[in-house]
Structure 1
């Protein structure tokens, strides 16, 4: 199938909130496909020697403290995201700017060198992409972290083996991040942990 000639289905918004929308896409045969779309996010994998930086933060979806990769939203609202999509803007550039901003705000680090590892897609019925960056070049920001109001975040460096232990113990609930860590980044960065 020639993807260059593939026509996107007609789309109609049936619900809109501050951070997401439900759309109906009419297929060529008349069937209606429903999906939820929200602006993309970024996640950063800070590596310092054999250590990885994780945040410990309260998350309502787990009703407790969860270990997470630092990150956040690329766009603060649905309207800004929709404008970027319609203008055919390169969302990768916006994601990189967001990664730099979130590194400063969430963990108090100024990044200089980043590597886009992957864009993790949520699935067919939920369009919510996460851009994952490996960060090896960073310095402490003079004004430290600047979390948003209501965010309860602390940061901690974990040795790579401790990250594996945390995953096995169920202390990380964002499974896309776990998949990127264990499937792409850690085997490359810490191969000794995965030797048979």
Structure 2
């Protein structure tokens, strides 16, 4: 039995900003879905034995400091993202972003990174986060090189401390919490999740 793939819905860009766009997707039955799309980001889980690196960063969306996994944007503008999306090389770009963001935010040179998952934002918001485990890294001679205006400090945590910070609500990026508690920590520290 031949299965035909459905053609993607016709797309019309109705708004375009520096880092995001609103598109209307025409459905076969005449309905129109509205989607907000922005370039993906990367998040890195740096593991050094029984330690995990978190950053503390001022974030305007929480009006204060937040503990986070190091990471950042894959593309600095919408047009670069659109070009890469059309040719289908987003993971290649995400891997390059791991190298760049690790050096900028935490002063580490990444030799290898393992893609763990791509966390999707939702049906009407296309904003993917690529999550990588990084075990193979070295300190950069010049240390972190944050972008102008970024206020970032780093600290190594034990797995128990990571769980405590999550439970205390000190990590506000809930996709990262889900990836940490649902995928990374049970795999890397199974003794913490044994019944």
Q: Give TM-score scaled by structure 1 length.
A: 0.97
Return the alpha-carbon distance in structure 2 between the equivalents of residues 182 and 150 of structure 1: 31
Return the alpha-carbon distance in structure 1 between the equivalents of residues 147 and 8 of structure 2: 37
Please, what is the CA RMSD of the aligned residues? Answer: 1.1
Return the alpha-carbon distance in structure 2 between the equivalents of residues 114 and 85 of structure 1: 22
Deviations 1:136-171 (A, max 9, x none): 010001111010011000000011100000000000
Distance change in 2, residues 1:27/1:106 (3 Å):
same
Return the alpha-carbon distance in structure 2 between the equivalents of residues 133 and 180 of structure 1: 10
In structure 1, the partner of 2:139 is 140
Return the alpha-carbon distance in structure 2 between the equivalents of residues 6 and 120 of structure 1: 24
In structure 2, the partner of 1:79 is 79
In structure 2, the partner of 1:18 is 18
In structure 1, the partner of 2:151 is 152
Return the alpha-carbon distance in structure 1 between the equivalents of residues 25 and 12 of structure 2: 6
Deviations 1:103-139 (A, max 9, x none): 0011000011210000000010000000000000100
Return the alpha-carbon distance in structure 1 between the equivalents of residues 7 and 42 of structure 2: 29
Give the C-alpha shift of residue 101 in structure 1.
Answer: 0.7
**Structure 2: gaps (5+ residues):** none
Return the alpha-carbon distance in structure 2 between the equivalents of residues 186 and 125 of structure 1: 29
Distance change in 2, residues 1:102/1:3 (3 Å):
farther
Q: Give TM-score scaled by structure 2 length.
A: 0.97
Distance change in 2, residues 1:85/1:167 (3 Å):
same
Return the alpha-carbon distance in structure 1 between the equivalents of residues 18 and 3 of structure 2: 32
Count of residue pairs the alignment pairs up: 194
Q: Secondary structure at the match of 2:110?
A: strand
In structure 2, the partner of 1:164 is 163
In structure 2, the partner of 1:47 is 47
Tell me if 1:106 matches 2:111.
Answer: no
Tell me if 1:57 matches 2:57.
Answer: yes
Give the C-alpha shift of residue 195 in structure 1.
Answer: 1.2
Tell me if 1:70 matches 2:67.
Answer: no
In structure 1, the partner of 2:174 is 175
